[in-house]
Amino acid sequence: MSTLKAVRGTRDLLPPETELWNFVEETARRVFARYNFGEIRTPVFEDTQLFARGVGEETDIVSKEMYTWEDRARAQSEKAQSLTLRPENTAGVVRAYIEHKLGETGLLQKLYYIGPQFRRERPQKGRYRQFYQIGAEVIGPPSAGSESPLRDAEVLEMLATLLDELGITGWHLEINSVGSAMDRPRYVAALREALGPVKHLMCEDNQRRAETNPLRVLDSKDPGDQEIIDKLPKIADFLDESSKAHFAAVCAALNACGVPYTVNPRLVRGLDYYTRTTFEFTHGGLGAQNALLGGGRYDGLSEIIGGPKAPGIGFAMGEDRLILTLEAQAAARTNLADAYVAPMGEGLNPAALKLARELRRAGLRVELGDGGFRLKKSFEMGNKLARKIVLFGEDEQQSGILTVKDFASGEQVKVPRADIVPVLRK
């Protein structure tokens, strides 16, 4: 019988790597808090219809990458419900916004989430079937200013700050506008028209895209097709006046606060709900999966899933990939305990636990050895696990004077038990 393993595309996160995950999440929470975002936690599974309608029936995510199953009907009168593990979190947040009538507050809702998402894709480095995203959404009624380009710029500025505080160097921001819900169909129609006579000259993939999703032709990497792509209509020429002004205002605000970016007229996003501003932060050294995070504005999403008019903008950051770049950038951090308490003799174990308890209650990070170890072994273990060792033998117990040795300096001192905490803290 084969041994049980984590299923394909899932994995365990173990120390010390989890230290890095906590660092990322704590940093994100700290930064979001400064912008007055609050945390939202939505269920990991939802009615399949939410994603089908919200994300778009025709997207790959919905058509072939979802974990979907029929829930059991509890009674004969009840129909089995189709449920799906969330492939992304924006639809869930907007559903919660509608369900709890958050628009009725008249205020902008600024919500962030941190949690697992699920897509049934072929696993690769930085791409897992259970993956983790950190994201945030700014959503609200138009009267609260939810359509303002200032919101877009503020979110982008916040992300630049977050990446800086995470210590990510060399990130790159690309932005674009895909126009309003009215502009986009006009542009897609023009694209189809322009592609008609030339698509047979392009690679197989692009011929297929020209049919199924012409927008995707734009970010094709095929070198032979670049010349044709460059001559295709630009979406910027199809934006109405208000979309143009909106995008210009986003850029102006970014310029004002010195956040570097480039406008990429080919940046289209895969999800159907995006309108106007779209953006992506990328990082080299991630191979083909070079996007650290992406997002955009979704002025019509709430209405698509049956809610009130509630324009919004948000992003999702791939935490797995972020960790990869951090690991590549920084040497693995060692996490030594402050002290290794070494009882010398099994009879001293209970008293050693009491000592360790006192030190831990004082806030120290403490490893506790075992009186069954020989002294040499205590030192070997202590040297691997902690910065200092505290010897606790008969002498020490009776005299109340503890022996402390610093592994780095080799210095050894005798310290009265009452004074030990500051010595260990050094």
Partner RNA sequence: GCGGCUAUAGUUCAGCGGCAGAACGCCUGACUGUGGCUCAGGAUGUCGUGGGUUCGAUCCCCACUAGCCGCCCCA
Cβ atoms of 289 and 125 within 8 Å: the answer is yes
Q: Which residues bind RNA (CB under 7 A)?
A: 2, 5, 7-9, 59-61, 88, 119, 121-128, 131, 133, 205, 208-209, 213, 216, 220-222, 269-271, 280, 287-289, 291-295, 316-318, 320-321, 344, 374-377, 379-380, 383-384, 391, 393-396, 403, 405, 407-408, 410, 412
Choice between 330 and 375, CB closer to RNA: 375
Q: How far is the CB of 397 from RNA (least distance, A)?
A: 9
Nearest distance from C-beta of residue 391 to RNA, angstroms: 4
Task: Closer to RNA by CB, 1 or 75: give it.
Answer: 1
- Please report the sign of the dihedral spanned by the C-alpha atoms of residue 168, residue 169, residue 170, residue 171: positive
Task: Return the amino acid letter for 248.
Answer: A
Rounded distance, CA 291 to CA 110, Å?
A: 24
Amino acid found at 212: T
| Shortest distance in whole angstroms from residue 209 CB to RNA | 5
Min CB(401)–RNA separation in Å: 10
- CA 219, distance to chain mean position in Å, is 24
Select 145 or 270, whichever has its Cβ closest to RNA: 270
Write down the least CB distance from residue 152 to RNA, Å.
16
Instruction: Outline where 35-65 has alpha helix (H).
Output: 48-54, 60-64
In whole angstroms, the minimum distance from the beta carbon of 113 to RNA comes to: 13
- Environment class of 395 (CB within 10 Å of its CB; exposed 0-12, middle 13-18, buried 19+): middle
Name the minimum Å distance from CB 241 to RNA.
27
Closest separation between CB of residue 52 and RNA, Å? 15
What token pair was written down for 337?
A: 């305990």
140 and 312 Cβ atoms separated by less than 8 Å:
yes
Helix (H) or strand (E) holding 353: helix 349-361
| Residue 220: strand, helix, or coil | coil
User: Phi/psi at 326 (nearest 5 deg)?
Assistant: -65, -40
Cα radius of gyration rounded to whole Å, the chain: 28
Distances (CA, A) of 14 to 11, 21, 335, 404: 10, 10, 13, 31
Q: Which two tokens stand for residue 308?
A: 């009130």
By CB atoms closer than 10 A (0-12, 13-18, 19+), residue 223 is exposed
175 bridge partner residues: 263, 279
Closest approach, Cβ 147 to RNA, in A, equals 21
